[in-house]
Every structure is written in structure tokens, then in C-alpha cells.
Amino acid sequence: MWKVLLVASKIFIIHPHFIVSEGYAFGHLIILTKKVDFQKDQKITLEELKKAAERLKSKLLEAIKKETSQEVKEILGFHTMILDDPFLWDRLSNKASHGKITIEDLNKVRDEVIELFLNIDNPLIRERQHDVKDVFTKLLYEIYGEEKKRISPGDIVYLEEIFPSEVVEFKNLGVGAILCKKGSHTSHASILAQSLDIPFMFNVPDLSEYDGSLVFVDAVHGKIIVEPSKEEIKILKELIEKYSREKAETEKYSLIKFDDVKVMANIGVLQEIDFAKRKGADGIGLFRTEFLFLNRKAPPSEEEQYLAYKKALESFYPDEVIIRLLDIGGDKKLPYLNVSNDENPFLGVRGVRLLLKNRDILRTQLRALIRASAHGNLGILIPMVTILEDIIEVRKIIREIEGELKEEGVKVGNFKVGIMVEVPSVVFNLDEFIPHIDFVSIGTNDLTQYMFAADRNNQEVSKYYRDEDKAIINAIQLVVNKMSRVGKPVAVCGEIAGKVHMIEKLLNIGLKEFSVAPAKVPRVKKRIYELKQLKT
């Protein structure tokens, strides 16, 4: 389709990694600069603050009455709880002088409340720190007013960053798509955009000069087209109509289950569990645990991790939940980790290498996982494996922990231990690993990166990053063949598993387990169903 478009249009390419919620949109670009320049010494009376809080609370309660989404109701309800929190008002009163408080002190109280949330073990509650910032910002806007541009249904909004309540607001206004400069897949706003089915991309360059322009957003392939021609507009509108029809048709396939093939979900935070279930995932094929460890001064406790893993396992029981051990390297600095300054972090201390250098972190995570195994069908996934010795060492630690927990009288369930296949050496040396593992998950994103020596996030070498190349397909087939001979399962959890046009090829080489982004589960199931029908 893109070959038909005229080269005269301005096109921005966004790496698919930065697509949070898929879809197409066509409308006028609205640049929102929501920052208000409050002076630090600007003062507000406590009375004004309380009245503003009451007005804001009334608006939130009214919105809750009209809202149909339970998830949105919970967010708005939590915002009312923040406004009623006695601790908040006690701190504000303590900071006040003669019944007045400065903006600087108000922000200090906000940061104190956020710090309280950051220190809570429960990851779901800790994530609420963003809601605190959201509420305080809305409170100031309630007092001083907010300069808002008029937003019409179908408009495309661009912001530096977005709060959860704004996602809800944009949904109610009928916004066509959300574009942000900053963001992450694990933020509350991102999860909400997915749940509410609003096309959303982040890491989008500054589009200020195109404010008011007609734009087309492709949050499927990662493109933004500014001021398309009449010919292009016709093509793009047809594309949107076709996508909408196909999407409505595809959603029905979320209910299908196959006897011989599983379509599982990749998730990065607990909030994605319900979304994955709604999309018909046959379990979790990759549960990334990094969200528990990031943005904090100390590592998560065993209890915090146990509760998170327990929730995931119970939610999908009896389906399998594959939980990957912490997979962080020199490219992400955590203050409590012993990480060297690698010149090339992707070839340095990362994955299992890092875990074995930080055994206290590894042991705590393994204890939490093994305790949680009593609550579901668990698979423990070891990341970035390259040599047999590392698998043997991790399995030794697992056996030690199992023994400790049993001595402590802790119930332990059955669980499996597998490895990520992400580097070429593991593909070729898999035979020596097989006796020590129960399953494998092929991470084709990293495998492609190492196979073609091309960083998948570097646009300069994007043409060398070829995850559909025969070299990758041959590598997958080699792994499938070796594991099939001993009756052990193989899943693919990279981007290729969610590419509809590649599914037939993957099925033909014997792949039985696909693990994809939750939103892609129905379309993968649809394609598998179609292929099965052709054979009958």
C-alpha cells in the first residue's frame, strides 16, 4: 500500500517498538502544551485548595456515574480517594504559613505522597504514583484554569507525556489517536489506551510545526503522514475502512481454542492480564518481570514478587504462565545492581550473566517464583543463555531453594524450567542443553539482532535487521526439530510470531506455540483457523 503513496507527503517513521496500541486514524493534528508556568513562590490559601479539591471531586464522581468501563471507574475512584486522603491534608496544613501554601511546598507534598507509593511492595499500588501526579496537576488547573485547545472527534493529539485521566478524557472526546514524545509500554496510561482501543505511539518527534495539519496515523506499521494529497487521502480512507471491518471480524476469533496450537500473550505488567484474557490468550508465553525492578532505589522484596507472580498464575490457571527472570543489562542502570559499564551492553553482562553476578537478586526472585508455583502452571524462563554452565548453575540454585522452602514447610508446586534462545550459538549447541531444560522460547528479536549484527532500535541499520530472512526461519526450524525429537515444547515470542503473513510458514516448520502482544492474539488465531480450514 505504501508504494502507491506520493513521495510529496511528509512521512515520519516510528519504530514498531514504540507502538502501544494499534490502529489507524485520520484527522487534524492538535498540539497540546499542557504545562502551565506556575511560579514557585506563588501562594494559594488552604481554603482555595479545599474548594478546588471539592469541585474536582464532584467532576470525578459525575464522570464515574457515566462511565461504563470498570477499569476507568477504578482510576477515577482512586483519584477521589487521593483528594480525601487525611495524610495529604495534614501535610499541606503543616506546610502552610498563615493559611497559605506556596506552589513549591505543594509540589513537595506531592513528591512526599509519590515517595510513599514508591516504597510500597505491591507493584499495582506503586504504579499509582502516576495518578498522584495527575491529581495534583488537575488540582492546580482547577484553581488557575487550563488553556485548552478545542478538540473535535477524530482529531490526533500530540503531547510531551500523558496522564491516565487524559486517556479517558480523549476517549470521551472521540480522539482518533494519541502521539507522545515520552512514554513506555508499562505506564498506566499506555495500558489504558490499549484497553480503550485508542491508537497510541510514543517516542514521536516534535510535530509542533504541523499543528492544525491533516495527518494520517498508522499505528500498525509505525508511520505518520502529514498533509496527504487527495489521491493519498482516498487510499488511506479505504485502508481505515478495511481495517475496521477486518478488526470487527477478527475479534470473534478470540474465543477459539485449538487442540494442537497455542496462541499465548506477552505481557510486561500485571495490568495487562485482564486485557490478555479478553483477547483470548491461551496463557502467558512471556511475562517480563522488569517492571518490578525499575524506577526504585532498592530491589523488590520476595513477598512483593510472590504476590505479583501468584496473581498472574491464578488469573490464567490452568493455562501456563511463563515468567522470565530479570532480563536487564548494562544499557539499564539500577542503583542496587552490580553492573559494569560495558562498552557494548548487548554483548556484555546482561540476562543470566548479570543474575549470576547478583545472586541475592536471583535467589530472591527464584524463592518468590517457586513459592508462587503452588498457585498455577508455572514455567521459569532463563534469559540470555549462551553456555551450558550457566543453566547448570541456575538449576543448582533452584534445587537448593526448593529444599529450603520444603524444610520451612512452604508448599511448592510443580514447575518447568526453560531457556530463551536468543543467540546463534544456542541454536547450534541446543543438543547439549536439552537434558537440562523442559522447554525453550525463541526470542527472534534478539536472535535477529545477533544473527545480522544489526541493532533493532537503530534506524541506520534497519535494512540489515531481517527477522523474516531464511536464516531466521532455518534457525527456528532447527530448534523445533531438535526439541520435537525429545517431546519438549518450543514457543516463539518475538515479533515474527505476530506477523500474519508468516504464520503459515511457521506452522509448516512445526511450530505449535505462538506468543504475541495481547492485541494480536485474535488475528493470529484467525489466520491459524483459516489455514486449518483450507486443509479440511
Annotated binding site for Mg(2+): 422, 446
- What is the sign of the dihedral through the CA atoms of 466, 469, 475 and 476? positive
Fill in the amino acid letter for 87: F
Cell 480450514 belongs to residue: 533
The grid coordinates of residue 399 equal: 534445587
Cα–Cα distances (Å) from 524 to 17, 38, 530, in that order, read 19, 49, 10
- Show Cβ contacts of residue 223 under 8 Å, excluding neighbours closer than 6 positions: 2, 11, 12, 13, 14, 216, 217
Fill in the amino acid letter for 195: S
- Show Cβ contacts of residue 115 under 8 Å, excluding neighbours closer than 6 positions: none
Q: What is the per-residue DSSP string for 130-144?
A: HHHHHHHHHHHHHHH
Q: Are 329 and 346 in contact (CB under 8 A)?
A: yes
- The annotation places the binding site at 288, 324, 422, 445-446, 456
- Show Cβ contacts of residue 54 under 8 Å, excluding neighbours closer than 6 positions: none
Adjacency order of strands within the sheet including 214-218:
10-13, 223-226, 214-218, 24-31, 156-159, 177-180, 200-201, 19-21
3-class DSSP state for residue 527?
A: helix
Q: What is the distance between the terminal CA atoms of the chain, rounded to a whole angstrom?
A: 32
Residue 495 CA to residue 448 CA, distance in Å, equals: 11
Cα–Cα distances (Å) from 139 to 97, 126, 151, 281, in that order, read 20, 21, 21, 40
Element (H, E) at 310: helix 302-316
Q: How many helices (H) and strands (E) does the chain have?
A: 19, 18
Count Cβ atoms within 10 A of the Cβ of residue 248 and give its class: 0-12 exposed, 13-18 middle, 19 or more buried: exposed
Instruction: Indicate which residues carry an active-site annotation.
Output: 188, 493
CA torsion, ordered 408, 411, 415, 418, to nearest 10 deg: -30
Fill in the amino acid letter for 143: I
Q: Kindly report the backbone phi and psi dihedral angles of residue 152, in degrees, each rounded to the nearest multiple of 5, phi listed first.
A: -105, 155
Fill in the amino acid letter for 413: G
Residue 161 CA to residue 153 CA, distance in Å, equals: 21
Q: Are 351 and 330 in contact (CB under 8 A)?
A: no
Q: Are 491 and 481 in contact (CB under 8 A)?
A: no
Residue 515 CA to residue 266 CA, distance in Å, equals: 6
Residue 318, preceding bond cis, omega within 30 degrees? yes
- Show Cβ contacts of residue 328 under 8 Å, excluding neighbours closer than 6 positions: 290, 293, 334, 337, 339, 350, 354
Residue 515 CA to residue 387 CA, distance in Å, equals: 25
